[in-house]
Structure 1
Amino acid sequence: MPRASAPTRRAPSSQLAPLAARRPSPVPLLPQPLLERLLAVAMERGGDFAEVYVERTHSTSVVLEESRIKSAQTGLVQGVGVRVISGGKVGYAFSDDWDEPALLRAASTAAMIAQGQGSERAFPVSRVAVPSHYRVPTPLSDVEVSLKASLLTRADQAARAFDSRVTQVNGAYADQTRRLAVANTEGRYTEDTQDLCRISVQVVVQGKKNERRTGMYGGGGRVPFTHWATFPPEEVAREAARQAVATLGAVDCAAGPQTVVLAPGWSGILLHEAVGHGLEADFIRKGTSLFAGKLGEKVASELVTVIDDGTVASGRGSINIDDEGTPGERKVLIENGVLKGYLYDSLNAKLMGQRSTGSGRRESFRHLPIPRMTNTFLAPGNHHPDDILKEVKRGLYCATFGGGQVDISNGNFVFEVSEAYQIEDGKLGRPVKNAILIGVGPEALKNVSRVGCDPQPDPGMGVCGKNGQSMPVGVGLPTLRIDNVTVGGTQVG
């Protein structure tokens, strides 16, 4: 069951640093003659298609607890995966040993699994230029770990200075510089370098009668380390502390159907989970999605236009190419309430008579690519956010979401709201606790009655899980009103 995690709040407009000059192209990960030999071995037993995926990832992870750096680690993961497709059969094998005999064994193993009809052809490849949606002049892997750790130390100091009731601060920084290359039997050879970083801060405060509340905030993206000059860790820490303090004294959330207003930004995680996964082509092809067979039909309010865009500059989910070597795209999935398209990887596209939308993504060389979202957001409407709130006599304002999950087969979703407020006569009232949104994705979309003119991306913290693979994603949403949403709480409304 797909899940989303890492609650955040909306991004400041200064989040993304200007794009800088592109750094020089590095030496190829594997020599082209070896790539071509691996393709030939992969097709020895025949098949319709073969692909070699090469990856080298340098990563850093730093953790702060109790005002001290608890751990600081760097690592290198590299390997090669070989995939062979024969009809509906897929053979896949990988190796983290880069010696030629080991790579040839992986290619031969994938060929044996797919069991085609036999072939002794050569498969020359040519380098294909790729677009550029993120430019990081200095690889994040080249930045000193001490500088990364200092971000967390600064965040800890800012959080503790925010309010005397702060009792605990936890911080985490993570980045990676991921190089990948993809060569296939269609003659395409593509490369990309994907830098990615994020910081998250969790703050715990203690109020009267030992009441404890937690706030979390963070951000990042495919951005250079200089990003933290425009999105400083102090800002991250203060927002996390603000969330925690703001929810002190929260009352129990009323249960039952309510009008719900979603804050812009991270609230888009509801769209990602409740709708986005159901539009991924593997679920569509297998008929397990509620959206299967509904192209051209009205599936949402006419105010709803859903877009998945892998080309957003420096976005957390952005890709110059997907993990099959296909360029990332901007895809309109739902337009004015009408279902327009699905998210395809190359395998499901071929089996369904379609083309790939650049949505084939994998966690690492150890995994097969599957259809995944990139940056998924709701297009803005014409309603002013203040007017949206004023129109609600009684309801729930959801400022920050926690995790959520969806059942693809029936569209049922459940989301935890970590910061929420009562709406009374068009104004925000007391904070509430233990709020949960429950519903069916398409039904929630049909109940959208107002869409704000204030689109916001999330600040760059989203992590999406599917089939045991985790991928970075982005979400976004303007202020949104949804009527008749089932709210789970601890008292009857």
Structure 2
Amino acid sequence: MADAPFRPFDTHLDRDQAASILRDALSGAEDGELFLERRRSESLVLDDGRIKTASYDASEGFGLRAVKGEVAGYAHATEISESALKRASETARLAIGDGGGVMAPPPAGTNRTLYTDADPIAGADFPVKVETLREIDAFARDLDSRVVQVTATIAASLQEIAILRPEGGLVTDIRPMTRVNVSVIVEQNGRRESGTAGGGGRVSLDGLLAPQDWQSKAREALRIALVNLDAEPAPAGVMDIVLGPGWPGILLHEAIGHGLEGDFNRKGSSAFAGLMGQQIAAKGVTVLDDGTIPDRRGSITIDDEGTPSGKNVLIEDGKLVGFMQDRQNARLMGVAPTGNGRRESYAHIPMPRMTNTYMLGGEADPADIVGDLKDGIWAVGFGGGQVDITNGKFVFSCTEAYRVKNGKVGAPVKGATLIGDGADALKRIKALGNDMALDPGMGNCGKQGQWVPVGVGQPTVMIGGLTVGGSGG
């Protein structure tokens, strides 16, 4: 049975008293709010034929924030009560001092609904989830005799939030999240390789537990693993690169996305600081951050300050036209918030974060883009990566890539890493495919120790002159 709806002012606090305490805490401040949250999550992992993990977590609490200028006082607690709120109020006030501030207007309201409010954990019985994991394991092993290990994961969570403003306004959101992952390891002639596929979103578990969904994930994981069985050492050097559609947008997310967040630009630490209105990418390149796409992993009806999410154009036809903003940085930069104020939980202060960040497609046929590659790498899958926000330099590892010479796709390559910097890579884009796609719903983004779910996307893209690190010649 699902838990009762999260109503903190019915069960924990008197709303009028909470608003009064909040107003006292924000006396002289320019902004702030009381953020209340309840979160429940469940994860089941089957590894090598056995249930390795079956976990259930539940938490709730609040965070109180007081903002003045560049300073923010923040206090949080796991106990939602009047006494805890008073203690948090006193703590948050210490950071902002007395007087001088004029309270910013509250966020605009919205009646939009982007996803279901049903609890996905309660959407399927526990024995059904366990049996589905066993079916995934058996199915993947039956696909190919070279499969020696299977790992399958079913995860679901529900986050319920309420945001109280000092003027008394209250906004709420209920955010489901689900995901199914399949990983396989294959062995042939003493060589082992792995492949992983998965995804989900702000949807119920019903569709993800349907055989046609997880079977396609198992087949894709096996396909990647078998490709890598035949992979040769990746070449090293400077060469043109073609990136596949969808998940390879993670390179876009990391290499330039963080650099377009408001706080880094206000402080001048981004490689894009001071370049508003200038040509920072090749003509035809348009990049958006869009939290309004229904059911997507990175979507949010409202952000964690209560601002409705937006469809925000960041780069238009190569020109820098916008940054992602929370309320504090937007106010300090003299612009409007964009619905990108996000936090990991009640224990974290909000900051500008991405939602679903993607590059629009062009007109080129993807096959023609690969056919125009004279000597380079066609990279269609990515693993981990790192980026330096101050200069945009990135390093990304490929999980599936192919050698291409004179337009002919050759052997898969293993151990390829792409090295470059985001600002330079944007200018080196030579072609945009007509196949823009979003990722299957598996991204998480880290910033200053906070993790939030995100989405990425792009079309097939050719980038000239990236450095490829590899072990081959």
Q: TM-score range by the shorter chain?
A: over 0.9
Question: Bigger relative contact order, structure 1 or 2, given CA contacts below 8 A and separation 6+?
Answer: 1
| Deviation, structure 1 residue 143 | 3.6
1:371 is matched with which residue: 346, 352, 364?
Answer: 352
Letter in 1 for 2:204: P
**2:23 matches 1:40:** yes
Counterpart CA distance in 2 for 1:416 and 1:126 is 40
* TM-score normalised by structure 1 residue count: 0.90
1:30-429 to structure 2, matched below 5 A, reads 30=9, 31-44=14-27, 46-117=28-99, 128-141=109-122, 143-208=124-189, 210-228=190-208, 229=210, 232-429=213-410
Counterpart CA distance in 2 for 1:123 and 1:183 is 14
Q: In the superposition, relative to structure 1, how do residues 479 and 126 fare at CA in structure 2: closer, same or farther (>3 Å)?
A: closer
Letter in 1 for 2:389: I
| Deviation, structure 1 residue 187 | 4.7
Letter in 2 for 1:263: G
| Deviation string, structure 1 residues 270-293 (Cα, Å, up to 9, x no partner) | 100011000001110111100001
Counterpart CA distance in 2 for 1:188 and 1:392 is 56
Letter in 1 for 2:222: A
**Native 8 Å contact 2:114 2:300 kept in 1:** yes
2:411 is matched with which residue: 425, 430, 445?
Answer: 430
| Deviation, structure 1 residue 26 | 4.4
| Deviation string, structure 1 residues 450-484 (Cα, Å, up to 9, x no partner) | 10001111000001111001110000111111111
| Deviation, structure 1 residue 38 | 3.1
Counterpart CA distance in 2 for 1:38 and 1:461 is 40
* TM-score normalised by structure 2 residue count: 0.94
Counterpart CA distance in 1 for 2:113 and 2:303 is 13
Unpaired runs of 5+ residues, structure 1, are 1-22
Q: What RMSD over aligned residues (CA atoms) do the two structures have, in Å?
A: 2.3
Q: In the superposition, relative to structure 1, how do residues 416 and 186 fare at CA in structure 2: closer, same or farther (>3 Å)?
A: farther
**Native 8 Å contact 2:123 2:204 kept in 1:** no
**2:29 matches 1:29:** no
Counterpart CA distance in 1 for 2:309 and 2:104 is 25
**2:442 matches 1:461:** yes
**Native 8 Å contact 1:392 1:424 kept in 2:** yes
Structure 1 range deviating more: 231-240 or 373-382? 231-240
Counterpart CA distance in 2 for 1:183 and 1:115 is 22
Paired positions, count: 466
Q: In the superposition, relative to structure 1, how do residues 221 and 118 fare at CA in structure 2: closer, same or farther (>3 Å)?
A: same
**2:449 matches 1:449:** no
Counterpart CA distance in 2 for 1:461 and 1:122 is 38
Counterpart CA distance in 1 for 2:150 and 2:454 is 26
Counterpart CA distance in 2 for 1:444 and 1:124 is 39
| Deviation, structure 1 residue 333 | 0.3
In structure 2, the partner of 1:5 is none
**Native 8 Å contact 1:123 1:185 kept in 2:** no
Letter in 2 for 1:444: A
Structure 1 range deviating more: 153-162 or 373-382? 153-162
Letter in 2 for 1:75: D
| Deviation string, structure 1 residues 251-274 (Cα, Å, up to 9, x no partner) | 111101111111111000010001
